[in-house]
Amino acid sequence: MSDMKGHNGGTETSSASSHLGRKILIAVIAGLSINILLSLFYDFNQILSALKRATYLEILVPFLSIFAAYLIDSLRYCLIFRHFGVKLSFRDAFYNNVTGLFFSNITPSSAGGQPFQVYHFSRLGLESSTSTNIIFSRLMVMNIMQFIVILLSLKQGIALLSSSGNGSYILVAGMATTAILTLMLVLVFIKPTAAGTFARRIEGNRFGRLIGRLAKNEKWAERFSNWTVELRDSFRFLWAHRVYALLVDLLLFACDQVIWAYGLYYPLCHLSGETLPFLDFLFAFILCGLVSAYIPTPGSSGSVEASYGLVLGGMTGASGTALSAVFLWRFGSYYLHLLFGGLVYFFAHIDSKVYHKQPDGTVARDRRIWPPLKG
């Protein structure tokens, strides 16, 4: 009986690995195919000339920028969880961030990262409601920070519209997306019952049934309504009793955004010979990211290259060179981290139920159980 269970477990694991391998392969093929197609619409000689000038730093800097973002986000997790009575280990936080980006990179519209992060924390033995609220509270912090950056650079941003050519449409769409997301989050924060009521009203129509199929829960509206109230309560708790924690989190996320953006800023400036004002670049970087995230390709492949290439090409006046910089940035920040995240996911072991309540009332990892490598 035990042999049979072991055999079945091995078969299931092998099947899951094969399924994941196919997703990775699809993500790589889709991304490379779209990139090749994009290059056909640009000056190929300009692209080739820019790539010849590139050095290993054009790939290493983007790779290290994302790695630095892992470290910052892991610290953010540890600090925020502590305010909910959880002493999250830095290693668990780091694993969660690496694998979260990995699943974002292989799922349509980068939508798979956060659900996996919630699953990982639940597997470790943490309350799923707390983990979910913290993850989505970080989304609110992200939106607030991005909204602040856009407001600070709005004057320069409007001037950018005239210099971005067709890319101006992407910037306008990004500003509209930011405004809509901010209003939605404010609505959830101020009056979560209104968001729940709206969800119940659309649950029975075609769009609501589609959400139900995607969520694998026909009665998703009630669950969503309860979650919005829990999210509001968690965020209000932080604002009322831990406002300094949110301010620190905002500051750390601001550093995160700057480092993430620098990964593209460096190869763009080096290859184009143009030193763009960084705040202008950051404005465009955030807006392009918001728009491209909604395209249903694995890791938003193609839409990222197209939107950034179009906008930055208009800003620098050298579209082929800008697209080359975007290609190198994506190779270092996407494809290499697809490999790195895959290695971490496949070879690092996730322990089950290793976080327990301690005598002092906090929840912490049992130090006698530490994740070894698989195999």
Of the pLDDT bands very low, low, confident and very high (cuts 50, 70, 90), residue 69 is: very high
| Rounded Cα–Cα distance for residues 211 and 204 (Å) | 10
Task: Give mean pLDDT, residues 265-278.
Answer: 87
Token pair belonging to 261: 């953006």
Instruction: Return the pLDDT at 313.
Output: 79
| Rounded Cα–Cα distance for residues 139 and 120 (Å) | 18
Instruction: Return the pLDDT at 87.
Output: 92
| Rounded Cα–Cα distance for residues 142 and 280 (Å) | 19
pLDDT tens per residue across span 227-237: 677 667 666 66
Work out the number of other CB atoms within 10 angstroms of the CB of residue 261: 20
Task: Give mean pLDDT, residues 180-196.
Answer: 69
Instruction: Return the pLDDT at 7.
Output: 39
Task: Give mean pLDDT, residues 303-314.
Answer: 78
Q: Which of 330, 292, 359 is nearest to 31 (CA)?
A: 330
Instruction: Return the pLDDT at 235.
Output: 65
pTM: 0.77
- Please give the sequence-ordered ranges of beta strands (E in DSSP) within the chain, or none if there are none: 86-87, 355-357, 363-365
| Rounded Cα–Cα distance for residues 117 and 96 (Å) | 6
DSSP-assigned beta bridge partners for residue 108: 298
Q: Order of strands across the sheet with 363-365?
A: 86-87, 363-365, 355-357
Cα 63–Cα 67–Cα 69 angle in degrees, nearest 5: 120
* Residue 254 DSSP class: H
Between residues 354 and 23, the one the model is more confident about? 354
Between residues 223 and 308, the one the model is more confident about? 308
Q: Which of 188, 182, 201, 185 is nearest to 230 (CA)?
A: 188
Work out the number of other CB atoms within 10 angstroms of the CB of residue 351: 16
Q: Does 124 have pLDDT greater than 70? A: yes
Task: Give mean pLDDT, residues 35-46.
Answer: 67
Of the pLDDT bands very low, low, confident and very high (cuts 50, 70, 90), residue 111 is: low
Q: Does 205 have pLDDT greater than 70? A: yes
| Rounded Cα–Cα distance for residues 332 and 319 (Å) | 20
Instruction: Return the pLDDT at 6.
Output: 38
Cα 327–Cα 296–Cα 153 angle in degrees, nearest 5: 60
pLDDT tens per residue across span 159-183: 655 555 555 566 666 666 666 766 7
* Residue 218 DSSP class: T
Long-range Cβ contacts of 230-233 (<8 Å, 24+ apart): 230/129, 230/132, 230/133, 231/132, 231/133, 231/136, 231/137, 231/188, 231/189, 231/192, 232/188, 232/189, 232/192
Q: Does 293 have pLDDT greater than 70? A: no
3-state class (DSSP) for residue 348: strand
The domains of the chain are located at: 43-365
Query: How many CA atoms, within 13 angstroms, populate the side-chain half-sphere of residue 30?
Result: 22
Q: Are 286 and 101 in contact (CB under 8 A)?
A: no
| Rounded Cα–Cα distance for residues 112 and 171 (Å) | 25
